[in-house]
């Protein structure tokens, strides 16, 4: 296992495989299938530890854990000119900025 394992793990049921699948957000191409939720989590964590160690040995840089990254709170989104106009009008009619409108909409409909 990694000493400081700050990677983002998730375990979900795979109906296709009829097993639990362990996933790691920072390594989206890797997964681990197991009969139980706990085994899937343990398996993906051990796999990630092996991959990170292999990367270290080969002087490769492992992905930074999402949990330790600093975020500015800013990101750009490209939309069609028509949608841009529609959202600008909606924001103006609501008496708020376009940024506030977009932030509110994202908060109401999280991924």
d(CA 98, CA 82): 14
Phi, psi of 97 (to 5 degrees): -75, 160
CB 66 within 8 A of CB 75: no
Predicted pLDDT at 2: 78
d(CA 18, CA 103): 38
Residue range 65-94: average pLDDT?
94
**pLDDT tens digits, residue range 17-37?**
999 999 999 999 999 999 999
**pLDDT tens digits, residue range 7-16?**
999 999 999 9
CB 41 within 8 A of CB 70: no
Predicted pLDDT at 111: 67
């Amino acid at each position: 296992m990694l000493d400081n394992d700050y990677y983002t793990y998730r375990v979900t049921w795979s109906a296709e495989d009829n097993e639990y699948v362990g996933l790691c957000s920072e390594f989206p191409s890797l997964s681990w299938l197991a009969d139980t939720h706990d085994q899937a989590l343990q398996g993906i964590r051990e796999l990630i530890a092996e991959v990170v160690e292999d990367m270290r040995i080969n002087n490769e840089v492992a992905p930074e854990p999402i949990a330790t990254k600093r975020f500015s709170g800013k990101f750009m989104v490209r939309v069609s000119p028509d949608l841009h106009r529609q959202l600008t009008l909606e924001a103006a009619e609501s008496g708020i900025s376009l940024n506030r409108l977009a932030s509110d909409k994202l908060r109401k409909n999280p991924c």
